[in-house]
Amino acid sequence: MNVPDWFAELSSALDTKMGMVLDEVTATRAVGRYPVAGNTQPFGLWHGGASCVVAETLASLAAAAEVGPQGSITGVDINATHLRPVRAGWVTGTATALRIGGSLATYDVVLTDDAGEQVCAARITVFLKRPPTG
């Protein structure tokens, strides 16, 4: 697992509820896994809203790694296209930086099922508040 030590303090009730397993976090990439069980819509399929949560969470964690523990981040845009259903197993999300600027970072997020099939394509933009330098 490649996760900065200070990330042990970062957690949310939603991450816990969704069963997030965080595998990697750097400023340019974040990877996490989520069980399908417990994250489905009434018809037994992986919930599209869960895909959006995964995408925003992973992009935000990568952005947090960019600004460090003294900075802060805020999601400002999300776009997600649901590509195929998932009924069981795990969904793995990988957020990859498309561009990290001075105050905005944009990440491409790919969600796949256990067979490696892409289930969602998302793009997230995050506002970066960097700590003062001096």
Catalytic: 56?
A: yes
Taking the CA of residue 130 as centre, how many other CA atoms within 13 Å lie in the half-sphere pointing to its CB?
11
Q: Catalytic one among 9, 56, 66, 117?
A: 56
Closest-CA residue to 92 (of 112, 120, 118, 62): 112
d(CA 5, CA 119): 31
Q: Which residues are catalytic?
A: 56
